[in-house]
């Protein structure tokens, strides 16, 4: 069965600092991996997606994630945090190429001025 | 293109009642999925419909049901409501499988409170 673990339910950074949100997955088959973001009182929005084409995936709003099979990780990074990045971020995995996603617990990102 | 539309956005019910939530997907999207979001359990998959057929089902009791119409609009129903059903119910649509697998477009959700 597939699963996702996000390390750190809350992450706080200063504006302009590096953002690093950690995600580890478990999957019995080559996974599809995703990062979604949720702003208050809104649904989720896809940031980026890994489907084995390239290990470094670039997404929207300056975010990127690197797939490391040996570490079963898919950490999300952004070189310089902006106040508008404050939101909850979810890592998700899909097995077998279907649209049923298993989500991590989420990481609340706070950006301090 | 209009996004995923969910109605109602907020509703309050009492235990034992039933509720129906509606979802209109993005035009051209034939797959509709439903997720339940709660502080304790996080985001959990309920079911997925494609071309009026349920393709996948999560681990929820039979009180939770859904359907999809020929225009891809979907409804989910929860009968005999329990306090623990209080949650944000999110609908997501996606293009067919293939290169866009897993690319879900979420609505803003229907927030259900059960008293």
Which tokens go with A63? Answer: 């975010």
Query: Whose CA is closest to B4, among B92, B86, B84?
Result: B92
Closest residue to B102, CB basis, from A41, A99, A106: A99
Name the pLDDT band for B98 (thresholds 50, 70, 90).
Answer: low
pLDDT digits 0-9 by tens, A52-109 = 778 899 999 999 999 999 999 999 999 999 999 999 999 999 876 677 899 999 999 9
Is B108–A51 a contact, with Cβ atoms under 8 angstroms apart? no
Burial class (CB within 10 angstroms; exposed 0-12, middle 13-18, buried 19+) of A25 = buried
pLDDT digits 0-9 by tens, A41-52 = 888 999 999 887
Question: Which single residue is written with the structure tokens 């952004």?
Answer: A78
Spell out which residues of chain B touch residue A41, defining contact as CB-CB under 8 Å: 108
Is B33–A42 a contact, with Cβ atoms under 8 angstroms apart? no
Closest residue to A43, CB basis, from B31, B101, B109: B109
Asked whether the predicted pLDDT for residue B110 surpasses 80, the reply is yes
Closest residue to A100, CB basis, from B56, B105, B108: B56
């Amino acid at each position: 069965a597939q699963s996702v673990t996000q390390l750190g339910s809350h992450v706080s950074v200063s504006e302009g600092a590096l953002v690093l949100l950690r995600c580890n997955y478990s999957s019995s088959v080559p996974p599809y991996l995703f990062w979604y973001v949720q702003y208050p009182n809104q649904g989720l929005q896809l940031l980026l997606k890994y489907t084995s084409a390239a290990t470094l995936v670039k997404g929207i709003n300056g975010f990127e994630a690197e797939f490391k099979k040996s570490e079963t990780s898919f950490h999300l990074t952004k070189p310089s945090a902006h106040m508008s990045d404050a939101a909850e971020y979810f890592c998700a995995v899909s097995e077998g190429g279907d649209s049923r996603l298993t989500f991590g617990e989420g990481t609340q990102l706070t950006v301090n001025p | 293109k209009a996004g995923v539309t969910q109605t109602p956005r907020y509703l309050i019910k009492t235990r034992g009642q039933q509720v129906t939530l509606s979802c209109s997907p993005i035009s051209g999207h034939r797959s509709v999925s439903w997720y339940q979001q709660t502080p304790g359990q996080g985001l959990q998959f309920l079911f997925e419909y494609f071309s009026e057929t349920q393709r996948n089902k999560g681990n929820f009791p039979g009180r939770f049901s859904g359907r999809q119409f020929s225009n891809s609009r979907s409804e989910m129903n929860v009968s005999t409501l329990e306090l623990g059903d209080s949650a944000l119910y999110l609908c997501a649509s996606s293009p067919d499988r293939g290169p866009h697998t897993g690319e879900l477009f979420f609505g803003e959700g229907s927030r259900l409170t059960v008293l």
